[in-house]
Amino acid sequence: MALSRDPNGKQVWATIGAADLYEIDKSRELAREAIKRIRAGLPAFEEKPKAETFKDVADDWLKRHVRQKGLRSEAEVTRLLNAHLLSAWKDRLFHAIRRSDVAALLDEVEDDHGARQADYVLAIVRGIMNWYAARHDDYHPPIARGMRRTDPNTRKRDRILDDDEIRAVWKQAENNGTFGAIIRLALLTAQRREKIGSMKWDAISSDGVWNVPSEVRQKGVGGALQLPEAARKIVAEQSRISENPYVFPGRGDGHFQGWSPCKRRFDEKLLAALRKEAVERGDDPEKVKVGPWVVHDLRRTARSLMSRAGVRSDIAERVMGHVIPGVEGVYDRHSYFEEKKDALNRLAALIDAIVNPPVSNVTALRAAL
């Protein structure tokens, strides 16, 4: 025990610790230090900071960085945190997570979900650790060069679907429920998958104008778009689910989120359908392959189809919500509503011509094959 009086003259007793923990010299040293602190008006012993778990730090990062800055990736970041990071490191001491722990986690994600998702998880880990390091003197992130599982320079995609692929994907999408409807709308509107998946009923007027919402720190969107008849029909076919505000509802009151599993099942059904057609033609079904594609490729395909349909480049860019560069983008504040309407109608007409070609064209194509 150490006994002294604080600056107000009040007696303060401080327990050094159990007698078997320290030798007598060490006990006296700790007691002298405690007495000095008491006389100075301080706690007898310096309070050690609470050991923070990974979840403590991740929650603080979400609150003070992701949400405070209004990052548009919040939903996906939270999903990946829950799916991969918190499930593995929730109760781990943050300072105890080493480079080998990060590498092992990335190996597991890569094996189960692919290299791209492993890189997304790495980006979140790096973000959390760098944010924490910027707020603490004694922390050094264990992230090193070379931990990525893909090469960023080779990730840029230029994939668009050709006419045969558009026809096959559209046909399969017509019989694939919610995900199929989203696939077709992605081609018909050239909008990002997240915007289509989170489309709200109240964002679509009675005459079919879709006011594509723009959020803080989000890339540009198409704004007010007059949906072509084909797109309006797809929306009208969707069922309203109780109080859920979304055209494509998810769990509870949320919107559609199941991109990866739905895309995987869609590809399986697409391949099976194409192989069935091959058998009916008398071809070897094992030779039928489906080239790799992602939902975002449909947006690139739609942009290319607009050019093919004679849509002016600047109008196609405005449909997609891309920022117009230079002086024009700064000073031209015209809405281009009618021009975008015409662009989407041209796009829909071209898609219809591809999906439902004249019989003579189909016969000639089959003869050529």
User: What is the mean pLDDT of the segment spanning 177-202?
Assistant: 95
Mean pLDDT value across residues 203-207: 94
> Whole-angstrom Cα distance, residue 149 to residue 22?
50
User: What are the tens digits of pLDDT across the range 107-127?
Assistant: 999 988 888 899 999 999 999
* Structure confidence at residue 50 as a pLDDT band (50, 70, 90): low
Distance between CA 74 and CA 194 in Å, rounded?
A: 12
Residues 6+ apart with CB under 8 A from 228: 188, 344, 345, 347, 348
Sign of the C-alpha dihedral computed for residues 107, 63, 247 and 338 taken in this order: negative
Domain ranges of the chain: 2-39, 54-154, 163-199+257-368
Q: What is the largest CA-CA distance in the chain?
A: 105
**CATH match of 54-154 with 3.30.310:** no
Q: Can you say whether residue 326 is alpha, beta or left, with left for phi > 0 and alpha for psi between -120 and 50 degrees?
A: left
CA–CA gap between residue 126 and residue 55 (Å, rounded): 15
Q: Which two tokens stand for residue 287?
A: 């030779």
Buried b / exposed e along 166-199 (16+ C-beta atoms within 10 A): bbbbbbbbeebebbbbbbbbbbbbbbbbbbbbbb
Distance CA 206, CA 185 (A): 18
CB neighbour list of residue 214: distance below 8 Å, 6 or more residues apart: 220, 221, 223, 321
- Backbone φ and ψ for 224, nearest 5 degrees, come out as -80, 120
Identity at 165, one-letter amino acid code: E
d(CA 113, CA 187): 26
Rounded to an integer, the average pLDDT of 5-32 is: 78
Measured CA to CA, the distance from residue 51 to residue 271 in angstroms comes to 52
- The whole-number pLDDT of residue 134 equals 95
Copy the structure tokens of residue 37. Answer: 């602190």
- Residue 348 pLDDT class (50, 70, 90 cuts): very high
Rg for the chain (alpha carbons), in Å? Answer: 30
pTM of the model as a whole: 0.62
**Nearest alpha carbon to residue 119 among 91, 88, 155, 169:** 155
Q: What are phi and psi of 12, to 5 degrees?
A: -130, 125
Q: Tokens 């979900």 appear where? A: 113
Residue-wise pLDDT for 289-347, tens only, equals 888 898 999 999 999 999 999 999 999 999 998 877 787 777 777 889 999 999 999 99
Question: What are the start-end ranges of the E strands in 153-222?
Answer: 209-211
Considering the chain, what percentage of its residues have pLDDT values greater than 90? Answer: 59
Tokens 């610790």 belong to which residue?
17
Instruction: Tell me the β-bridge partners of 226.
Output: 209
Residue 216 is predicted with a pLDDT of 45
Q: DSSP states of 273-290 as a string?
A: HHHHHHHHHT--GGG---
Residues in the chain, overall count: 369
Quick one: pLDDT at residue 334?
A: 87
DSSP-assigned beta bridge partners for residue 255: 249
Q: What is the mean pLDDT of the chain?
A: 88
Cα 52 from chain centroid?
27
